[in-house]
Amino acid sequence: MEDKQIMLKQAGLRSTLPRTLILEILERNPQRHLSAEGLYQLLLERGHSIGIATIYRVLAQFEQAGLVIKHQFESNTSFFELSTHSHHDHIVCVNCGRIIEFVNNDIERLQREVASKQGLELTGHTLYIFGTCKTPETCPYRHELNSIFHTKPAT
């Protein structure tokens, strides 16, 4: 708990119960990319009644303070992950919602080469790759992730 208070203070935020609980879930949850609705559901499951408006407000504060990164994986839903300070890209299954983080040095090199050929020095990028599970009807993540992300399963 104390490390979260220090993290919040370093980000210029007061330590409040909603901020601390949301930070704890983002740190400990096995699914590293969560929506505000997913956080709300997880908080309720843990016995904490924090309003959805408060969750959105805290996430906006966290994003502004650099504690989280906000992603829009081609949906109307925003997903948040803790800032890790280590670059990675994402592959997203459009059927089940599974998000896979990866690092590929060949892709990184190619992006620098493309930028250089255009007369630019690459300062950053965001790469989302979309696909579908090879066997969507038997995907082990389909129902689990759809309940967390509040998305409709593919039919």
Q: What is the pLDDT of residue 144?
A: 52
Q: Which CATH superfamily, name and number, covers 86-155?
A: Ferric-uptake regulator, C-terminal dimerisarion domain (3.30.1490.190)
Query: What is the arithmetic mean of pLDDT over 49-76?
Result: 91
Question: What is the percent of the chain where pLDDT is above 90?
Answer: 45
Full-prediction pTM beyond 0.85?
A: no
2 phi and psi, to 5 degrees? -65, -40
Give dist(CA 144, CA 23) in Å, integer.
Answer: 22
pLDDT tens digit sequence for 131-155:
888 877 777 766 555 544 444 433 3
- Return residue ranges of the chain for CATH 1.10.10.10: 1-83
Q: Buried b / exposed e across 124-133, counting CB within 10 Å, b at 16+?
A: eeeeeeeeeb
- Return residue ranges of the chain for CATH 3.30.1490.190: 86-155
Amino acid at 71: H
Q: CATH classification of 1-83, choosing from 1.10.10.10, 3.40.50.720, 3.20.20.70, 3.30.200.20?
A: 1.10.10.10
